[in-house]
Amino acid sequence: MNSKIQFYISTCPNDTFVSYGLINQKVNLDNFKIEPHYFDIRQLNEIALEGKADIIKVSSAILPQLCHLYNVLTSGAALGFNCGPLLIAKSKDIELSSSTKIAIPGKNTTAFKLFKRYYGDSFEFVEMLFSDIEEAIVGGFIDAGLIIHENRFTFQNKGLVELTDLGQKWHSETSLPIPLGCFLIHKKWDLKSQLFLDNALTESVLYAHDQRDDAMKFVMQFAQTMEYSIAKKHISLYVNDETKRISEQGKLAIMKLINEESFKNNCTFVR
């Protein structure tokens, strides 16, 4: 089998940080060659549905639709602790109703799944690139928005306010971390290869921590419009022990999010 790995991630700081060692061959890859591709999370979810990727970062919420094609790597995941996607608006006094226009970063994202869990789906939803949501609210094109990634650190600078932290609501309900996203590997690879690549991604996470300055230089190549301090805050928030290897608690959180029985019947963790 071809040893080229079509590797798909977003340009989000936590994705590029944990993948630095893998993409730049700083860890043992044996005979594998990583060919990276960079897309927005909504696009990544769509690419995964097409089965194009060998390894791909996706929203945890979309796992039930992908388990026939992929297994779940236990490394590289983004799990938040008492923090997650934010619902924001111009004012805390906004009344949410069926006519409220709410921007979302994608219908298959964990952010949208969480919103529906706590607010239902009787709203006018508008899909857009996550980084465009703040300006859409400021411009009055939409009433509220679900923001993800580094925008949790920037929205206040534009005069916007937080209505809800969906990660906090999840934690209050479950006492579990919120499984925002994880890496998948295509089932066409044999188990030995899957285990090797899962371990290689763990080594990449550890390497980025050990060589943080170099890893951050790589991160900032994809985050040129972002302040260095914000990229660091984002990484500190979402690159944690669960990123090195998902714990049993982390696995339980994933199963809780997408329906435990459905996951057990259809999905497999590589280790």
On the CB side of 243, CA atoms within 13 Å amount to 26
User: What phi and psi values does residue 147 have, to the nearest 5 degrees?
Assistant: -110, 150
**Which member of 37, 68, 149, 234 is catalytic?**
149
Measured between alpha carbons, how far is residue 187 from residues 53, 54, 110, 166, 270 in Å? Answer: 11, 8, 23, 32, 10
Q: Are 136 and 104 in contact (CB under 8 A)?
A: no
Q: Which two tokens stand for residue 145?
A: 């928005």
Q: Which residues contact 169 (CB under 8 A, 6 or more apart)?
A: 114, 118
Beta strand segments in 190-231, E: none
Whether 149 is catalytic = yes
Interatomic CA distance for residues 38 and 260, integer angstroms: 31
Catalytic residue positions, numbered: 149
